[in-house]
Amino acid sequence: MSTSKFDGGDKKKIKIVQPKAADPGFGFFLETEDGTPFGSTLDITITITDDTVTPASIYITKIEVTNHVYESKLPIIAPFGDQSWLNPAIIMKEIPYKVEVEFLDAITPYTSEASGKVMIEDGAFEISVAELAGPQTALAHIIKGFKMLFGLD
């Protein structure tokens, strides 16, 4: 099975859409800035920094996508926090996040990143995902799994 390499000179930028957070998770849509498919296998690193405590706590989730990604929009849910994190004082405060995506199939692999702040909400969060029409793809099965996980299906 051969994989095609894309031109590393045409580097893609990423953006984060609909970020939501409630312990113990951070959910968002990862998209390419220009709306074109990712066109690569990916290593995704999500960093959440709880700067409401001293010293700040850092939570890192790494996701390895070993198949070529033909979509331009991926739903991502990353865990963060732990049993001692349950801090009611953090509700309705913003904490920083950073998402780094390494495009592994580029002639010269490179990393694109996006950062921002997300409001911490109480309880579970919802990520709105539209139903896909036509043949079921692997992405459709992932979305269905997210819906079941969050009681939306």
User: Each residue of 9-24: pLDDT tens digit?
Assistant: 578 999 999 898 876 7
Cα–Cα distance between 56 and 119 in angstroms, integer? 17
CATH superfamily placement of domain 14-123:
Immunoglobulins (2.60.40.10)
Count each helix (H run) and each strand (E run) in the chain, helices first: 1, 7
Q: Pick the range with the lowest mean pLDDT from 24-28, 51-55, 147-151.
A: 147-151
Classify residue 71 as exposed, middle or buried by CB count within 10 Å of its CB (0-12, 13-18, 19+): middle
Query: What is the per-residue pLDDT for 52?
Result: 78
Q: Pick the range with the lowest mean pLDDT from 62-66, 102-106, 108-112, 138-142.
A: 138-142
pLDDT tens, position by position, 36-53: 999 999 999 999 888 877
Classify residue 99 as exposed, middle or buried by CB count within 10 Å of its CB (0-12, 13-18, 19+): buried
Query: What is the per-residue pLDDT for 136?
Result: 52
Q: Is the pLDDT of residue 124 over 70?
A: no
